[in-house]
Amino acid sequence: RKEVEQDPGPFNVPEGATVAFNCTYSNSASQSFFWYRQDCRKEPKLLMSVYSSGNEDGRFTAQLNRASQYISLLIRDSKLSDSATYLCVVNRRGSTLGRLYFGRGTQLTVWP
Amino acid sequence: EAGVTQSPTHLIKTRGQQVTLRCSPISGHTSVYWYQQALGLGLQFLLWYDEGEERNRGNFPPRFSGRQFPNYSSELNVNALELEDSALYLCASENRGRNQPQHFGDGTRLSIL
């Protein structure tokens, strides 16, 4: 089983729509969680960290459910500029580990 | 504050050649990570350096190697290049405090002919 699994999509939504992405992780020792966005042929950029109590940044809301090992990202009032691939990222630390585990990404296209 | 910088931006090589990619982390970051992203695929972890030492490596053959210098910059070396090495190579740096995210450079796009 992969460390991080995401629905690859693609999600095609009109401007103004609300869209939600889900992600599951396999290792309960995972300690920190992030959403990155990656534009075509560009580097991943941090969108937001995900905190246990859930957190919001403008139109973006992230949720974490440790019991179910599940992370979500909600985008409200979608903009054309939100079109990108969204990567769910999990960080698991240990004596020899210390790297991020990336999901394959969920592709979002927002159309006019 | 300058972000993670990588060089070169683009590179074209032929099979069997060797290549060196470079990365400068964000000032104050001691950890550097290297990833490979082939076209249409997800990020594959290559190497992790921290405080000048290799801490972990992904499932890549030994012809992928690297090092980290005292100023925390890093090099990724790939020997005996193969066609399937064509990819975007991303470097990320991290402040090894608790729950810190990684920050990526723009990447080096390597094409093997």
- Are residues A96 and B56, on separate chains, in Cβ contact within 8 Å? yes
Q: For A4, name the nearest residue in chain B, comparing CA atoms only.
A: B42
Q: Tell me which long-range contacts B37-43 makes (C-beta under 8 A, separation of at least 24).
A: B37/B87, B37/B88, B37/B89, B37/B90, B37/B107, B38/B84, B38/B86, B38/B87, B38/B88, B39/B86, B39/B87, B39/B88, B41/A104, B42/A87, B42/A102, B42/A103, B42/A104, B42/A105, B43/A44, B43/A87, B43/A102, B43/B90
> Tell me: the pLDDT tens digits for B17-65?
999 999 999 998 999 999 999 987 888 889 999 999 998 898 899 999 9
- Are residues B33 and A100, on separate chains, in Cβ contact within 8 Å? yes
- Are residues B99 and A102, on separate chains, in Cβ contact within 8 Å? no
> Tell me: the pLDDT tens digits for A70-93?
999 999 999 999 999 999 999 876
Return mean pLDDT, chain B: 92
| Cβ pair A90, B101 in contact under 8 A | no
Asked if A49 has any chain B CB less than 8 Å from its own CB, the reply is yes
| Cβ pair B9, B86 in contact under 8 A | no
